[in-house]
Homo-oligomer: A and B are copies of this chain.
Amino acid sequence: MINSVSEMQKICSGIKGTIGFVPTMGYLHEGHLSLVRAARKQCSNVVVSIFVNPYQFSPNEDLALYPRNIDRDVKLLTELEVDFIFFPTEQEMYPEGYKTWVTVDKITQILCGRSRPTHFRGVITIVTKLMNIVDPDYMFMGEKDFQQLVVLQQMAKDLNFRTKIIGCPIVREEDGLAMSSRNKYLSPSARKDALCLHNSLLLSKKLFKQEIISSNKIIAEMSNLIENNNGIVDYIEVVDSQTLKHLAELRTGCRILVAVIIENTRLIDNMEM
């Protein structure tokens, strides 16, 4: 386990062969591990970072509560034969006098960006830093945070990073709930209610197969299902998978993204049509 930026950077610059990188905030679940396995399969060296990045949380969010279990994380990553675990302190990543931010216009101000206005600035900045430290050939990210994936691909392209960012499929619990460290917050009854995200997406797919293509119509049906299961809809949107642009009508390959508050926990999910 490496805590120092300069040591991690030195090690990575000396690595022969390809580097696959998986950035995480720890408290690893099967979703993260699927990314590590993809990296292990494709690359000769695998680096995983664990850093709960304070700047992607808003003041009213769950930074202090965010679950952590570094011993368990290290054990899981060791079992998967990860070469290096990067576990820096906040002081290492944001030393006193830190002043630099990376932003992406437009696609960060919609969807999750509306209710979390500084979230993406924090995500983009920490990933820029991590990419400069690790200099990976490939970076693996889950499609669960689909907007995050598109935003970071835009940043990497715009800033001419050589790293290729690979989106990997959502991993779900047996009953369909998308895996997330935040699922831990749910009470047993809320855990059942939370199935409404996935079920509403399955419903949209069913309706699309019945040739209903009006976004408004499908969103209305999904909202009903979610509200009938005690969910509060933050957003449901039909978007183009590349540009995240709003679509008035569904088409093959488009994506529906949902954010729902269950109890006090905000959960997200999405599905390709």
Contacts and interface: CB of A to CB of B under 8 A. Distances in A.
Contacts of A5: 160
Interface residues of A, number: 25
A4 to B, nearest CB: 12
Interface in A75-124: 98-107, 124
B102 A154 contact: no
Contacts of A101: 102-105
A134 to B, nearest CB: 10
Q: How many identical subunits does the complex contain?
A: 2
A195 interface: no
A102 B155 CA distance: 10
A173 interface: no
A183 interface: no
B105 A154 contact: no
Interface stretch (A125-133, A139-147, A251-259): A125-133
A158 B99 contact: yes
Nearest to A163: B132
A86 B61 CA distance: 45
A155 B9 contact: no
A122 to B, nearest CB: 14
Interface in A124-177: 124, 128-129, 132-133, 154-155, 158-162
Given A9-B160, A132-B160, A102 B102 contact: yes
Contacts of A224: none
A160 B8 CA distance: 11
Contacts of A133: 160
A128 B161 CA distance: 10
Given A100-B105, A102-B159, A103-B103, 7 more contacts: A13-B162, A98-B158, A99-B158, A100-B154, A100-B159, A101-B102, A101-B105
